[in-house]
Structure 1
């Protein structure tokens, strides 16, 4: 008990001591101007322009695995590099091009959805990390999943 109180007191003291400097005061105005100039000159970002960012699979049966290809074009002025794409759960798996997409070129993002164990209305998203100005792009899928029929309990088993 005493050790716990001493540890908490130590953590509190370190927190209070480390927060007394105002970090904003340490920023030099000339560095802010240099960064603003640098960022203004580097406006040539790739841009992921999708034909659509949402897809509705409609009504599917629980256990179905469905997929959709999201098509996009790099409408920016620099090559597009997709670093990663991640589904909001393990049931949503994206596949993306690993090579850079040149300005004006097109690409596809394949999104697979496994509805096993996912009854009723489902809405999932894929977060894409790329070298775009925003750094992240979002795709959404949805489906109404018809639940599997459950066996009725108490029914005699016929032999």
Structure 2
């Protein structure tokens, strides 16, 4: 299992908070994501402990090949619900097993292929986002834990939630007479 340094955990926590925050600053979110990626990449070459220094037999690992890892849902109205199905193929040498998926906040719900995905076969991770009480730039994320190297993979939705929607002010009171 890969261990993150304290700065990586702090950055990940900041991204977690901002992913569900009503923040309008996309640049800060993207900057934090870049820093997390840089920290993760730097740790690949520097083992943190003896366990991570052991060589992993690729015959025991699955490998994700996603069609996309980020889905831009554009601009939606507050209260809209978005669903996106991230499809993947197991290009590894062993059946791919997703052991857990963690959403960045309560506004995001994941569903996934529960059975092992054989080499060469396809699977999915469906992510649902509820924009109720959200506004501005949003970047909800799901973190996948699987028998892959690295063991963590992230998928992200991104877009804007518009609170300036027109509401229907036409109403009918009482029964309609014929």
| Range of TM-score over shorter length | 0.5 to 0.7
- Choose from 58, 82, 93 the match for 2:109: 93
Q: Aligned partners of 2:111, 2:159: CA distance in 1, in Å?
A: 19
* 1:37-80 Cα deviation digits (max 9, x unpaired): xx35x222210110000001001000001100000000000000
Instruction: Determine helix, strand or coil for the equivalent of 2:87.
Output: strand
**In the aligned structure 1, how far is the partner of 2:87 from the partner of 2:58?**
24
In 2: Cα distance, 1:133 partner to 1:59 partner: 34
8 A contact 2:98–2:147 mirrored in 1? yes
2:58 to 43, 48, 56: 43
> With structure 1 as the length reference, what TM-score do the two structures score?
0.67
Residue number among 103, 117, 120 corresponding to 2:119 in the alignment: 103
Quote the Cα distance in structure 2 between the aligned partners of 1:140 and 1:68: 10
Tell me, which stretches of 5 or more residues in structure 1 are unaligned?
1-31, 151-159
Cα offset for 1:148? 5.3
Q: Which has the larger radius of gyration?
A: 1
Correspondence 1:132 to 2:148 = yes
Structure 1 residue runs of 4 or more that deviate by more than 4 Å after TM superposition: none
- Aligned with 2:132 (options 108, 116, 120): 116
Q: Following the alignment from structure 2 to structure 1, what is the Cα–Cα distance between the partners of residues 147 and 124?
A: 16
Structure 2 gap segments, 5+ residues each: 1-49, 167-178
When the two chains are superposed, the root-mean-square deviation of aligned CA atoms in Å is: 2.0
Alpha-carbon distance in structure 1 between the residues aligned to 2:139 and 2:163:
16
